[in-house]
Amino acid sequence: MRLSIAFSALLASVASLECHLGYSILKGSTIGAATQKCGRDTDFCYNATVQIFSLTTLQKAGCNTILCQFVPNSCYQRKILGIPVTFCCCKNEDFCNRGEMTVRCRNEHCITVLMRPIPE
């Protein structure tokens, strides 16, 4: 009986991961106060950041499974149309996808994956 209660509590805590949700455009700005409760136990919080010009840094955050399934709880960099985009994924705590994740990734090692163009 105790085991089933503990297992149920564990599943509830995994499925109820909460993440920051939204986007920012200007360098130095934050994503905002909006949040999202992830719908699947396979979801991670993610934060994607790309610097386009010296004053423009695009940042997007939310819940996602596909972006994070192969690099859980870490950051990686992928070139999209020749522009490096940093993706950080986590599920170790609620709201773990705050902007500082990508700053840490830039100062530490990131996995670089180049996207191949889709054949026409």
pLDDT digits (tens, 9 = 90+) for 54-99: 778 889 999 999 989 888 889 989 898 988 999 999 999 999 987 6
Residue length of the chain: 120
For residue 93, tell me if it sits in a domain: yes
For residue 120, tell me if it sits in a domain: no
- Please write the tens of the pLDDT for every residue from 2-45: 544 444 444 444 458 999 999 888 777 777 789 999 999 999 99
Looking at residue 52, the DSSP 8-state letter turns out to be E
Please give the pLDDT value at position 40.
Answer: 93
Counted domains in the chain:
1
- Strand-strand pairing, 74-80 and 111-114: parallel
3-class SS at 107?
helix
pTM for this prediction: 0.69
Q: What CATH number should be reported for the domain holding residue 26? A: 2.10.60.10
Containing structural domain, residue 105: 2-114
The token pair that represents 23 in the structure block: 């986007």
Q: Which residue has the tokens 């949040």?
A: 35
For residue 119, tell me if it sits in a domain: no
Q: How far is C-alpha 115 from the geometric centre of its chain's CA atoms?
A: 18
